[in-house]
Amino acid sequence: MVPSIPDYQKYSDEVLAPKLDPEVLKEIMFYEDKEDYTNARYMELVVNNYYTEHIIRLPVAEWPEPLKQKF
């Protein structure tokens, strides 16, 4: 784990993001560049590709019910 948000952002940009499918990353960056974080497509990409690989580390179908409700 990293000690700060800026450190995590750097780790995410340099280590985690490059592990994503390049087309998925390109589309995520499209929405992030526009700061369109509430876009349904952006959320779909992040939840199904980034969260399941790097944050929660479970397929969405296996998430506990309280977690599913939050998303």
The amino acid sitting at 16 is L
Instruction: Spell out the SS3 assignment of 4-62.
Output: CHHHHHHHHHHHHHHHCCHHHHHHHHHHHHCCCCCCHHHHHHHHHHHHHHHHCCCCHHH
The residue type found at 5 is I
State pLDDT tens for residues 10-59: 988 998 899 999 999 999 999 999 999 999 999 999 988 887 776 777 77
Residue in 4, 55, 1 with CA at minimum distance from that of residue 46: 55
Which contiguous run of DSSP H or E holds residue 2?
none
pTM score: 0.71
- Using DSSP's 3-state secondary structure scheme, residue 63 falls into coil
Q: What is the pLDDT of residue 7?
A: 92
